[in-house]
C-alpha cells in the first residue's frame, strides 16, 4: 500500500496479491465491482483512494472469496500556523517583511509570495499591500493565505504664517 500524498487527497494505493486457490482471480474494493486479471496474473492495484480503512476482496476461479482490511494513511494537513509581519516604517517605503511558520505535510517546505518558490520562510523589502503567501511540501501539497503589510498614514507638515491685517506680527524685538 502507498499512503495518500496529501491530506484528504485521493492519491492512496493498495496492491492486492492473491495466492493459492484456483487461477483466474478477480479483485474488488467494495464487494460489488470486480476486476478480473489476466490468467497467470495474481495482483491488482486499487488507486485514487482516500485515507481510510478499506476492505479488499479476492475471488478465485471457483468463486471462493477471501477479504482483508488494510488502511491507507495520509500525512498531517499542511498548515500555515502563523505569519508574522513587520509594517513599513515610513509611508510609501518598501522595508516591510513577513515570516511564515508552517507544519504538517511531508516536509521539505518551499515558500512563495507570488514570484516563484524559495527555501526561505522570510521575505523582506516589501511594499505595503496584500500578499498571497503560499507553501508547498516535497510532494506538492500546498496551502495559502492572504497577508497584509501595513504602512503608517502619509506624514505631512503644514506651516502657517500668522498675519494681522496683512502685516506679519513678530515677537517683541523682532523686525
The rounded distance, in Å, linking the Cα atoms of 33 and 35 is 7
Cβ-based neighbour number of residue 28 at 10 Å: 19
Half-sphere exposure of 4 (CA within 13 A, CB side): 21
CA torsion 159→165→170→175, rounded to 10°? 120
pLDDT of residue 174: 59
pLDDT tens per residue, range 103-128: 999 999 999 999 899 999 999 999 99
pLDDT of residue 163: 61
In angstroms, the Cα distances linking 133 to 86, 96, 98, 136, 146 are 15, 14, 9, 10, 6
pLDDT tens per residue, range 79-90: 999 999 999 999
pLDDT of residue 169: 58
pLDDT tens per residue, range 125-174: 999 999 999 999 999 999 999 999 999 999 888 887 666 665 665 666 65
**Whole-number mean pLDDT of the chain?**
92
In angstroms, the Cα distances linking 58 to 88, 135, 136 are 64, 41, 38
Amino acid at each position: 500500500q502507498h499512503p495518500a500524498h496529501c491530506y484528504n487527497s485521493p492519491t492512496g494505493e493498495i496492491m492486492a496479491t492473491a495466492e493459492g486457490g484456483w487461477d483466474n482471480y478477480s479483485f474488488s474494493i467494495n464487494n460489488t465491482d470486480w476486476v478480473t486479471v489476466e490468467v497467470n496474473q495474481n495482483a491488482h492495484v486499487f488507486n485514487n483512494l482516500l485515507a481510510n480503512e478499506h476492505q479488499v476482496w479476492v475471488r478465485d476461479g471457483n468463486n471462493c472469496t477471501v477479504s482483508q482490511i488494510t488502511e491507507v494513511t495520509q500525512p498531517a494537513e499542511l498548515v500555515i500556523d502563523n505569519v508574522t509581519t513587520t509594517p513599513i516604517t515610513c509611508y510609501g517605503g518598501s522595508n516591510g517583511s513577513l515570516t511564515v511558520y508552517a507544519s504538517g505535510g511531508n516536509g521539505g517546505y518551499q515558500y512563495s509570495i507570488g514570484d516563484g518558490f524559495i527555501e526561505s520562510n522570510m521575505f523582506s523589502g516589501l511594499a505595503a499591500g496584500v500578499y498571497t503567501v503560499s507553501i508547498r511540501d516535497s510532494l506538492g501539497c500546498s496551502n495559502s493565505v492572504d497577508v497584509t503589510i501595513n504602512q503608517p498614514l502619509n506624514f505631512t507638515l503644514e506651516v502657517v504664517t500668522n498675519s494681522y491685517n496683512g502685516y506679519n506680527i513678530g515677537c517683541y524685538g523682532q523686525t
